A = this chain, B = another copy of it.
Amino acid sequence: MKNNFRILVTGGDMRQVYCAGKLSSLYDTYVMGFSAEAVPEKMNLKSAVTDTDGFYDFAVLPVPPLDNNRMIPAPFSSEKINPKEIRRLLKPDGIIFVGKYDPKLQEFFGDMEIVDYMGREDLSLKNAVPTAEGAVEIALNELPVTLNGLKVLIVGLGRIGTALAEILKGFGADVTASVRNAKGSAKARILGIKSICTNKMDTDYSLVFNTVPEMIFDNRLLEKFSDDTLFIDLASKPGGIDFESATLLGKKVIWALGIPGKTAPVTSGEFIAETVAGIIEERGFFND
């Protein structure tokens, strides 16, 4: 049932390796930008064929696809990858899958279709779970107390906030969600947790997860929290916590970077593969 498509997975962190592993059950898959030691032997991944122009139907670039030098980052290899090389190896009507769109990609792939898999809602939803698990892992590592019985605040009840709520309930934490309006508090009710209004936030919490990418925890608000409170910010930049104030005030804040790539590379790599395969299928790229 395997397709005849050739797909090149190139650069990035371990997610890309597991992404390639999952894709290899569907397509003829090759990897580039990983030293032999980085790839688990039993995965049996094929090294990229680089001597034939226009060899590949698709390329999967990492998150992010380009570094500051306009090269494809390849931390598990001794050399970086030049996007021009990838352009050469792709068929003219190929597709480039990238983990966050960067306008500089146009320079190399301007005539081809570029698809941002990280922008897909299905992937965002899927990543909520490994992101929440990674955040809880951080909390467990940092805290000298149990989550059980702990007063925890989750700011925002979107997908990550919901995933956090589910996990924390299992720990028997005393969970409150900070929400903006009646819809938010109704969502909290469905999840069986308490809610407060973000505007009228009380501050008696030992652990705070922020998931909202807006400045909420400014100097005035941070001051009201105990110095023992641990803040974990999961919102994409610029995040929701004023880091300068937090530092001056001596608050414990962790900006959770690299979740879920670091904490669950297998799961999140496979999610990328599923999303890429879903897009290929949607586009009607079926074999004859």
Category for how many chain A residues contact B:
35 or more
Provide the bound-state CA to CA distance between A173 and B166, in Å. 12
Query: Residues of B contacting A167 with CB < 8 Å?
Result: 170-171
Cβ of A140 within 8 Å of any chain B Cβ, yes or no, is yes
Given contacts A137-B141, A167-B171, contact A146 B181 (CB under 8 A): no
A177 to B: closest C-beta gap in Å? 12
Query: Residues of B contacting A143 with CB < 8 Å?
Result: 264
Cβ of A263 within 8 Å of any chain B Cβ, yes or no, is yes
Query: Residues of B contacting A190 with CB < 8 Å?
Result: 125, 128-129, 159, 162-163, 166, 172
Q: Smallest CB-CB separation from A122: which chain B residue?
A: B182
Provide the bound-state CA to CA distance between A142 and B162, in Å. 24
Provide the bound-state CA to CA distance between A169 and B173, in Å. 12
Cβ of A248 within 8 Å of any chain B Cβ, yes or no, is no
Q: Smallest CB-CB separation from A274: which chain B residue?
A: B182
Query: Residues of B contacting A186 with CB < 8 Å?
Result: 122, 125-126, 128, 159
Q: C-beta contact mask, A111-153 vs B, less than 8 Å → 1, else 0?
A: 0000000000110011011100110110011011111110000
Cβ of A84 within 8 Å of any chain B Cβ, yes or no, is no
In the assembled complex, 23 residue pairs joining A and B whose CB atoms fall closer than 8 Å, in A order, are: A122-B183, A125-B182, A125-B187, A126-B186, A129-B172, A130-B146, A130-B148, A133-B146, A137-B140, A137-B141, A144-B265, A144-B267, A145-B264, A145-B267, A146-B260, A162-B190, A163-B190, A166-B172, A166-B191, A170-B170, A171-B192, A182-B275, A182-B278
A272 to B: closest C-beta gap in Å? 13
Provide the bound-state CA to CA distance between A130 and B263, in Å. 22
Select which of B137, B149, B172 is within 8 A of A137 by beta carbon. Answer: B137
